[in-house]
Each structure stands twice: as structure tokens, then as C-alpha cells.
Amino acid sequence: MSELIWFKGGRIAAEDSAKLEQLDVLVEGGKIIRVAEEVKAPEGAEVVDCEGCVIAPAMFDVHVHAREPGREDKETIETCSEAAINGGVTGMVLMPNTLPAIDSGGLVQSVLDIAAEKSRIPIWQSGCITKGRAGKELAGIAGMKSKGVPVITDDGDSVADPMVLLRAMQYAKRFDLILAMHCEVKELSGFGAMNEGVVSYRLGIPGIPACSEEICLDRDIRLAQYTGARVHIQHVTSARGMETIRRFKEEGVKVTCEVTPHHLLFNEEHIGDYDTHYKMNPPLRTQKDNELLLQALIDGVFDVIATDHAPHTEFEKNSDFVSAPFGITGLDTALVSLYHHYVKTGIFGWDLLVKRYSAEPRRLTNLEPVPVVEGGVAELIVFDPNRKTKFTRDFMKSKSSNTPFLDQELDGQIISVIRDGEFLLNR
């Protein structure tokens, strides 16, 4: 590959501009050295024809389950990173609910060692709040911080004991660590498998009430308000929960939050004939929740979009609805599905997509965004809105395919992913 790459005729997407300006981009040695209407590229430059395409900063995902160590039958760090690249993502934060759970500096280092060998993109590992995610004793927070964890979380479970959580917040504040909260009152969720309401009653499936999430969410933010800690609310699903976050933000509490593509796009009605691809935790809520969560994303209540990429084997997902595990893959599909449903239709623009799925996720983890500007790093994607993407089993790079998008064809395709001036993907 040439040291010089000339991206010719593309339209540049930026977080601070709704306008896509047609400009050439010249990259040399991993840096963007020129962005202009007409670039005179030196002889020998590799030319990438971007006519009709969008050139955007590469995405970053703060909520990913790679399953390694312990469940490599579902996913590995290598396959997870390839799925990320396939979806235009060049960095991600892994959740610690593996086997064993990542609750010490030594275990963090073991994952980072695997990632250094197997992943073509940088990976950050989060650590547990409590030992073994059991909710009883604090994990080795100082040791994990020394290994570079940006976040601590017991994701998959809430910290049920409020005193344990309060102590964790006081301790994490000393290290300037974010606590990422899975909000759920287990006693209210019980053995539920979907949102509790008219649809769950009709299908005969035990339900999980929205208040299970909302009560815990309110408690966690109130503790953050009391301690001054930084909390990040994961995968918000209900409009009432979102409004609680909005109110606390207005009061100045250090709270950020995320929304997933599937909680924007799907709701309880999509479960239809007990399709386990729509089973996730927290569950899909109502169409009204979809509408209000989407508006909150546009309004800026949600800081980031994150996939909560949660792969499972086909055997597991082929169980009956109640027995099947919660979770949906998302790395391969997120960017294209968001373009297809929202950007192409004019509901929101590339500026919002770049801000919430590229720039703000990096800022949340104390990283610099990667805008397509002169002097910036060459960490970008080329997206062709005129092509289509069919999410076949062969197309997707994740080891698992538990997604409602399986075998669906959507508008738009990621044709190139570049990092450090090298093509990670080039279709």
C-alpha cells in the first residue's frame, strides 16, 4: 500500500456541521495532511474514488461483550474486533462479565495481552465494581486503574446493596473513574423475559416491568449526587427513566447515558411469534418509548450511542423464548441500520451520528475525537449510501449471528475503514 492515500471527491461528515462539504482528503503516514476542494496529490499516491460517498470519523463503542475469557464459543476478542471493523468501529470498551469476571489488575492485563496479539484495533477493558460481580465486596479497583481501565461496572447486574455502591462511588471518585450502571431491581424483574404489559400478557411470557429499571436508575444517580461520583447509565429503555436522567442533568449531577440502536428501532411488538432475536435485557419496551428515546437522542439527553454487542450461539438462541439468553449482536449492523432508518430518511443527520457514536464515546473514555481535519489522525471510514448491505452469515464477522437483521438488506455500505493510514477494510 502507498504511503500516500488520496480520498477523492467525498463529502466530509463532522459532529459540528449538518452540511456535508465535498472535499478531497490526502493522508500520509497515518496523518491527514490536506483537506481541500482540490488536492494535487503527489505522484504515486493511491487514489480512492469517493464520489457520492461520505467520509466520516471512525466510530467508537463503549459497551461491548467479547465473551473472552470463558465463552469463546460465542465470541473471541479476535472475532469481536473484526466485527467492529466491519461496522466502522476502530476502538471499543469491553465489559467485564466474563468467566472469570475481570475484577483485578492481573485479569485486566491478561485481556489486554490477548487484544495486543489478536485485535487489529485498540481495545480498552473495563473492570468490575465488586469481586466476581457478586455485589458483596469491592473489586481491586486500584489495581485495575493502574492497568488503564476507563470504567468500572458490574454490567449484567446492578449492585443491589446501596451501601456497597456508595463505597464504590467514594472510592472510584478518588481515581476519577466512571461507574457504568446496569439498572435493574432483580426482585421486580424476577424470571421475566420481556417488557411487562399487554403484549407479554397476550403471549403468555412473564414480564419485566419498566419500574425495575427506573427505580434502580433513580437510586444510582441519587447516590452519585450525594458522593460527587461520575456515573454512566447503560442501555436506557424507558421514557420515564430518560426523563429522570434529564432532570438530574439539569441539576448538575455528573451523569451520562447511552441508548442502543435496538432500543431505538425495535419494541415489544416485534417479538411476534416468540422470536428470540428480540430478547434482550433490559427488554424492548413500547413504540411510544421508541419515539421518546429517539427524540431524547436528537435533543442531546443521550450522550452516546452504544451497541451492547452481546453474542450468543445459535443453539442457545434456538431455545424457547423464556429459556433463551438475553442479548443481541450489534457491531456489524449498528452504523448501517442507523443510516438506513434515520439518516437516509432525514430524521437526523450525519452530524448527530458522528457526535454520538464517534466523538462523545471517545471523550467519555478520555480520548480525543478523530475528526477529518488537516493535522488530524487518519482514523476514518468511507460510506457509500448508494450501495446496499445484506447481513448474511458470511458477511458478518462476529462469531454469532443473534440479530434481527440477519439476511435483511439495508441501504448503505461501509466500503473502507482506515486507521493509522492503513486499510483495515477495503471493499
Encode pLDDT of 64-118 as tens digits. Answer: 999 999 999 999 999 999 999 999 999 999 999 999 999 999 999 999 999 999 9
Look at residue 2 in the predicted model and tell me its pLDDT.
Answer: 62
pLDDT of 268 higher than 70: yes
Are 4-55+374-426 and 58-364 in the same CATH fold? Answer: no
Instruction: Enumerate residues 6+ apart whose C-beta is below 8 A from 171.
Output: 138, 141
Close Cβ partners of 361 (under 8 Å, ≥ 6 residues apart)? 59, 60, 61, 62, 304, 305, 306
Annotate 279-298 with b (16+ C-beta within 10 A) or e (fewer).
Answer: bbbbbbbbeebbebbbebbe
Give the three cell numbers for residue 145: 486503574
Residue 335's Cβ-side half-sphere holds a number of Cα atoms within 13 Å equal to 34
CB-facing half-sphere around the CA of 402: CA atoms within 13 A: 27
Q: Which residues contact 213 (CB under 8 A, 6 or more apart)?
A: 183, 184, 236, 237, 238, 241, 282
- Could you confirm whether domain 58-364 is CATH 3.20.20.140? yes
What does DSSP assign to residue 339? I
For the chain, which residues make up each domain, given as ranges? 4-55+374-426, 58-364
- The pLDDT assigned to 201 comes to 97
Provide the pLDDT for residue 33.
95
Lowest-confidence pick of 34-38, 314-318, 354-358: 34-38
Model confidence over 354-395: pLDDT tens digits? 999 999 999 999 999 999 999 999 999 999 999 999 999 999
Residue 186's alpha-carbon distances to 139, 157, 183, 213, 307, in angstroms, are 21, 8, 9, 9, 23
| Of the candidates 111, 11, 122, the residue with the CA atom closest to the CA atom of residue 349 | 11
Q: Look at residue 4 in the predicted model and tell me its pLDDT.
A: 92
Residues sharing a CB contact under 8 Å with residue 238, sequence separation 6 or more, in sequence order: 210, 213, 214, 285, 289
- Exposure string of 105-119, with b = 16+ CB inside 10 Å and e = fewer, is bebbbbbbebbeebb
Find out if CATH 3.40.50.1820 is the number for domain 4-55+374-426.
no
Over residues 44-58, the pLDDT tens digits come to 889 999 999 999 999
Q: Are 32 and 374 spatial neighbours (Cβ–Cβ below 8 Å)?
A: yes
List of residues 6+ apart from 315 with CB closer than 8 A: none
Three-state SS at 185: coil
Q: How far apart are CA 348 and CA 301, in angstroms?
A: 15
User: pLDDT grade, residue 1 (50/70/90)?
Assistant: low
CB-based burial, 212-241: b 16+ in 10 Å, e otherwise = bbbbbbbbbbebbbebebbbbbbbbbbbeb
Look at residue 39 in the predicted model and tell me its pLDDT: 79
pLDDT at 343: 98
Across 1-144, the runs of DSSP E, i.e. the strands, are: 4-14, 17-28, 31-36, 46-49, 54-57, 59-64, 89-94, 123-125
Choose among 370, 348, 205: nearest CA to 278: 205
Half-sphere CA count of 405, side-chain side, radius 13 A: 26
Give me the chain's average pLDDT, please.
97
Active centre residues (catalytic): 308
The residue whose grid cell reads 469491553 is 94
- C-alpha–C-alpha distance, residues 308 and 235, integer Å: 7
Nearest alpha-carbon partner for 287 in 264, 261, 321: 264
Q: Where are the beta strands (DSSP E) in 264-337?
A: 304-305
For a pLDDT cut of 70, what percent of the chain falls above it? 100
Q: For 114-154, how does the pLDDT look when each residue is reduced to its tens digit (9 = 90+)?
A: 999 999 999 999 999 999 999 999 999 999 999 999 999 99
**Which of 337, 338, 209, 178 is CA-nearest to residue 282?**
209
Who contacts 253 (Cβ-Cβ below 8 Å, separation ≥6)? Answer: 221, 224, 225
Find where cell 462479565 sits.
97
Give the helix, strand, coil percentages of the chain, each rounded to 5: 35, 25, 40
Query: Which H or E run contains 97?
Result: none
Give me the pLDDT at residue 3, please. Answer: 85
What is the pLDDT at residue 158?
A: 98
